[in-house]
Amino acid sequence: MTLDLGIRPFTRPVEAADGYPRIEDHALIGDGATAALVGMDASIRWLCLPRFDGPALFASLLDAERGGAWTVQPAGPLREVRQRYLADTAVVVTELRCDTGTVQITDAMVTGGALGAGSPSGPGELARLVTVLHGEVDLRVRLTGRGGLTPAAGPDEITLGWPGAATPVTLTSTLTVDGLDRLDGSVRLGAGDRLGLVLRWAAGPTRLRTADDVATALEATASAWRKWAANITYTGPYEDLVRRSAITLKLCDHHASGAIVAAPTSSLPEAIGGERNWDYRFTWVRDAAYTVYALRRIGLTDESEGFLAWVLNACLRDGRPHILYTLDGTQPTAERLDPDLEGYRRSAPVRWGNAAADQVQHDVYGEILDCAWQWVRGGGIVDDRRWAKLVELATAAENNWRTPDHGIWEIRDAGRPFTYSVAMCQVAADRMARIAAATGRAGEEGRWRELAGTIRASLLEQAWDPAAGHLTEHLGQPGTVDASLLALPLRRVLDGADPRMMATVDAVIDRLGAGDDLLYRYLPAESPDGLGGEEGAFLLCSFWWVDNLAHSGRLAEARERFERLCARVNHVGLLPEQIDPTTGQFLGNFPQAFSHIGLISSAVNLARTR
């Protein structure tokens, strides 16, 4: 099984809807500090500076007129386009055909050398190399910024005054482009001609002064990515997609801290025209255990250790643990609505910050202690101070597992006794017992082992609906299901081959199925979340479906579902948070780390059954 992510045929440009390109018609580039989205038409429509969670310089995905973008295109209409990554890299090559010729644009954020965990981010440069492959092209270069840009032309570069800049942003061109000092210029290029463009936001001037300089920097960046990707050990189904998913997770990795953002974007909607638009440029504790486990399984131990260290340092500080953190391990500023941007395809509001940071979600205890257990399994030390903090967290799980919370899906409504939250409190006790045994604290093991058994027994009794014959979304409330129930075998709460779990899987598929391979995470009409409207199918839950089929021995069905999911990646192998089951179009923030984690885990599970 494979999917060719190499050079594909040219395609006709997809017409914009409501003046906006499709979310899926983009690739991602980054440097370990921030990331940018490059469209199939070579327009850069998203870039926050100087970090993932900084202000947006380019945000035309959230407002086509006022958001800002960097466009490099032939002046005439585009006839055909294609785009790909250089193999095992985050270097993007886009080719544009017009009536008079073909242009190739190679884009990357320049690396600072090595890409391993803890390595420095790049020098703060986005490099673009334009090459005319044949014919003659009038190339237009246009740059607009969110909040407006004020250009000041110097002898070698243009300094851009931008309200959000902590340091000056500069633009360098290796050729004279008439009108570029006003940030909208053009130049005529013939076959073989090259133009280098460099946007720099770090302090100091660029060293990339010629087209050769830009080409050399792009080659060095590609080489660094290939050296890093050589650490991926996975062989099995859809190896190319697993490798691309690993690179995508690395693009969501903040090198300086080890944190991994849920997605590099904000406010891409879960339904067109709806209000379910969230800022995902933060790190969720919930994602950590899944991410670490997935990265370990494909050989990326440095990244998994770096993320583990970040999670434990952030969550074991004084005060109660939170469900999400900034890249620095602090709490984000209050969520606010942006009055100036209309939202993707007019899906308002645009949000900066995430109010879920203040929610009560009891699963966080299990998520942290599962991370701690993985830390111990990998040789990490638990001294008395850290042990005391782990005891504090496990005790919080012991005290709170019976009380309602806002759940894994972060409802903006009154709390409820979610089955998944109770299950993760059981995970907290179970992992605490394992840590005690592994660190020579055998006298403590019994207490936590007993608590784990008590919570598990209560869950299986109170979440079980005898009339329906399956587990339910809440304790003591029969009827409804949500897709988080599929995670119970993945967290070792209930065996995937247990008849109760198999019946629950069938119930989830029956109630939440959205086609042959997709699942909704819940139905708002049955499980109110305090928000209006609907949402798309949630991709991670679909990969959980695959995992459950594999765990219960339904291997042929698991492989079939997995192949269908893999066929939904975009032209360069990227996945969003959600998909519209009716149209197949991408929804939600993009690319989504959780979706790529799901792909990696399902691929590894299936590879082990071969």
Give the pLDDT score at 117: 60
Residue 1 has pLDDT above 60, yes or no: no
Could you tell me which of 192, 209, 85 has the C-alpha nearest to residue 131? Answer: 192
Query: What would the DSSP string read from start to end of 488-521?
Result: TTTTTSS-TTSHHHHHHHHHHHHHHB-SSS-B-S
Q: According to the model, what pLDDT value does residue 151 have?
A: 94
DSSP string covering 390-427: HHHHHHHHHHHTTS-B-TTTT-SSS-B-BHHHHHHHHH
Q: What is the tens place of the pLDDT at every residue in 403-429? A: 999 999 999 988 899 999 999 999 999
- Quick one: what percent of the chain has pLDDT higher than 70? 98
* CATH number, domain with residue 167: 2.70.98.50
Specify whether the CB–CB gap between 59 and 46 falls below 8 A: yes
Q: How many CA atoms lie within 13 A of 606 on its CB side?
A: 29
Question: Per the domain annotation, does 67 fall within a domain?
Answer: yes
Assigned domain for 273 exists: no
Residue at 464 is within a domain: no
DSSP-derived pairing of the beta strands 101-109 and 169-173: unpaired
Dihedral in degrees, nearest 10, Cα atoms 366, 370, 373, 378: -160
Q: List pLDDT tens digits, range 177-215.
A: 999 999 999 999 999 999 999 999 988 778 899 999 999
Position 156 confidence tier, pLDDT thresholds 50, 70, 90: confident
Looking at residue 318, its pLDDT comes to 66
Residue 28 has pLDDT above 60, yes or no: yes
Beta bridge partners of 193: none
Quickly state the pLDDT bin for 258 (edges 50, 70, 90): confident
Angle in degrees, CA 341, 165, 49, rounded to 5: 70
Helix (H) or strand (E) holding 143: strand 125-144
Q: Give the range of the structural domain holding residue 205, as residue numbers without chain letter.
A: 26-229
How many whole angstroms separate alpha carbon 353 and alpha carbon 338?
A: 11
pLDDT reading at 232 higher than 80: yes
| pLDDT tens digits along 464-499 | 999 999 999 999 888 899 999 999 999 999 999 999
The answer to whether position 251 is within a domain reads no
Residue 236 has pLDDT above 70, yes or no: yes
pLDDT at 378: 85
Pick 357 or 578 by higher pLDDT. Answer: 578
Q: Averaged over 315-333, what is the pLDDT? A: 86
Note the pTM of the prediction, 2 decimals: 0.95
Q: Round the average pLDDT of the chain to a whole number and report it.
A: 93
pLDDT value at position 131? 98
420, amino acid identity? Y
Q: What pLDDT is attached to residue 500? A: 96
Residue 2 has pLDDT above 60, yes or no: no
Q: Which of 33-37, 120-124, 228-232, 339-343 is predicted least confidently? A: 120-124
Strand 336-338 and strand 350-352: pairing?
antiparallel
If one counts every other C-beta atom within 10 angstroms of the C-beta of residue 8, the result is: 12
Residue-level pLDDT at 113 = 74
Question: What average pLDDT does this structure show over 300-305?
Answer: 85
- Whose tokens are 């990646």? That residue is 569
pLDDT computed for residue 118 by the predictor: 62
What is the average per-residue pLDDT within 123-152? Answer: 95
pLDDT band at 142 (very low <50, low <70, confident <90, very high): very high
> Which of 51-65, 108-122, 134-148, 444-458 has the lowest average pLDDT?
108-122
3-state secondary structure (DSSP) of residue 94: strand
Whole-angstrom distance, CA of residue 315 vs CA of residue 412: 23
Predicted confidence at residue 123, as pLDDT, reads 86
Identify whether 143 is part of a domain. yes
pLDDT(116) > 80? no
- Whether 259 is covered by a domain: the verdict is no
**CA nearest to 134, candidates 88, 103, 177, 91:** 103
- Identify whether 379 is part of a domain: no
pLDDT, tens only, 338-391: 999 999 999 999 999 999 998 989 999 999 999 889 889 888 888 898 899 899
Res 304 pLDDT > 60: yes
* Total domains in the fold of the chain: 1
